[in-house]
Amino acid sequence: MTTTQDIHSPDFLAGDEFTIPTFRLLQQDGTLFEGGESPDLERDKARRIYRAMVFTRVLDERMMAAQRQGRLSFYMQCTGEEAAVIGATAALDDADMIMAQYREQGALAYRGFTFDEFMNQLFGNELDYGKGRQMPIHYGSRKLHYMTISSPLATQIPQATGYAYGQKLAGDGHCTTVFFGEGAASEGDFHAALNMAAVHKVPVIFFCRNNGYAISTPAVEQFAADGVAPRAFGYRMHVIRVDGNDILAVYQATREARRIAVEHHQPVLIEAMTYRLAAHSSSDDPSGYRSKKEEEAWREKDPILRMQRWLVGQGWWSEDEEKELQERLRREVLETMKRAEKRPPPSLDTLVTDVYADVTPALQRQLDHLKTHIRKYPDAYPRGARSLDPDVVAGDDAAVKGGE
């Protein structure tokens, strides 16, 4: 579809002719901006959102510390972006599909993923749904409609378009929300996904967390445009930019986006302006590429504090409740970590099961060879490797002896 208006002089349109406003409702002191109206958000839901935000912060602080103690190989924090992720998730139906990048543990927390479930994945133990096959933070939950994380950037974006197209065909009234960083939006997959979604009119919400950085590369070095939002025009798509640290604005914008997506089968782009307060990951040190002053300025805009002040103002939260919640979460996170750490990894056989419908002879041979090798050279393997061999556990040592 193209417009047909003629002009008779070469009047170019400049790329900076449009500026995109930012939707804001809540000030840092917990009061509303003049002219802003609180969205329809009831007490219980507001408290559920807040608890999920604090849960995420506590999990992140504790697991980052565990990584520094050498108990965990890797970790990524959502710190500073809790309102963007959890506000958006709360605006969805709990059965809508979420495709995330890797910094959206808050979405899982909101939907009820437990500390045990987080820990089992982080430690890759026998209860991990991914059977220990992935690095920490690659969560997934079929039950909670949360697609398992995959590391290559932006792959989830066209997958979301495809999944949402399926939802449209199924006519089940659900939509898909895909989270990604402003860095991932530079991948070709982003553009293919938006174009296809607009052409096929699929119920998908593209939720960009613009947190200012792609690892060490600041947004100003990533694109010349006014953020990611203007790209929606290129695909004839609805778009809104929102203050990503403002829980009420994120919630209301996403609720409206869901309505457009589900009722009108139109994709929507949301750009949430926020800041990654922590390092990119446990392997990163931000002091090499940004100033403490910049971080401090954003710390002043802490989304959790902002929501807490609003809740207290509503009479929906108290100091005592805050203390109780903090203490309980800190206790539970430690208890579950100790539990998960002690559990063994999945058994050796899971290396080859559910790769194909049936274990192929070639894979079976490789597994037998590995078991034999571990028995012969146990010291060359991590402690406890022998106990992962179900044959050894069953006392059937003779079964593979001498088979090298």
Ligand X SMILES: Cc1ncc(C[n+]2csc(CCOP(=O)(O)OP(=O)(O)O)c2C)c(N)n1
Q: What residues line the site for Mg ion (CB under 5 A)? A: 181-183, 211, 214
Site for ligand X in 250-279 (CB under 6 A): 276
Q: Report, in Å, the least distance between residue 184 CB and Mg ion.
A: 8
| Helical (H) or strand (E) element with 238 | strand 238-243
Question: Of the two residues 221 and 327, which places its CB atom closer to Mg ion in the complex?
Answer: 221
Which tokens belong to 119? 């820990």
Question: Of the two residues 287 and 326, which places its CB atom closer to Mg ion in the complex?
Answer: 287
DSSP 262: H
Question: Of the two residues 112 and 188, which places its CB atom closer to ligand X in the complex?
Answer: 188
At a CB cut-off of 8 Å and minimum separation 6, what does 181 contact? 101, 103, 153, 208, 209, 210, 211, 214
98 binds, among Mg ion, ligand X, none (CB under 5 to 8 A by kind): none
- Return phi, psi of residue 197, to 5°: -65, -40
- Amino acid occupying residue 50: Y
184 binds, among Mg ion, ligand X, none (CB under 5 to 8 A by kind): ligand X
CA distance 195 to 199: 6
Question: Of the two residues 228 and 307, which places its CB atom closer to ligand X in the complex?
Answer: 228
280 binds, among Mg ion, ligand X, none (CB under 5 to 8 A by kind): ligand X
Helices and strands: H and E segment counts in the chain: 13, 7
Q: Does 152 bind ligand X (CB under 6 A)?
A: yes
352 binds, among ligand X, Mg ion, none (CB under 5 to 8 A by kind): none
242 CB neighbour count, 10 Å cutoff: 30
Asked if residue 96 lies in contact with residue 175, where contact means CB atoms within 8 angstroms, the answer is yes
Of 60-68, 182-190, 194-202, 337-345, the segment contacting ligand X by CB under 6 A is 182-190
Q: Does 228 bind ligand X (CB under 6 A)?
A: no
152 binds, among ligand X, Mg ion, none (CB under 5 to 8 A by kind): ligand X
The binder of ligand X chosen from 64, 86, 184, 333 (CB under 6 A):
184
Question: Of the two residues 186 and 372, which places its CB atom closer to Mg ion in the complex?
Answer: 186
Q: Report, in Å, the least distance between residue 53 CB and ligand X.
A: 17
- Amino acid occupying residue 186: S
The binder of ligand X chosen from 280, 301, 371, 375 (CB under 6 A):
280
Going by their DSSP bridges, the two strands 213-214 and 176-181 should be labelled as: unpaired
3-state secondary structure of 194: helix
Q: Does 303 bind ligand X (CB under 6 A)?
A: no
* Secondary structure (H, E, C), 333-394: HHHHHHHHHHCCCCCHHHHCCCCCCCCCHHHHHHHHHHHHHHHHCHHHCCCCCHHHCHHHHC
287 binds, among Mg ion, ligand X, none (CB under 5 to 8 A by kind): none
Question: Of the two residues 280 and 375, which places its CB atom closer to ligand X in the complex?
Answer: 280
3-state secondary structure of 52: helix
Residues near ligand X (CB under 6 A) are 103, 151-153, 180-184, 209, 211, 213-215, 276, 280
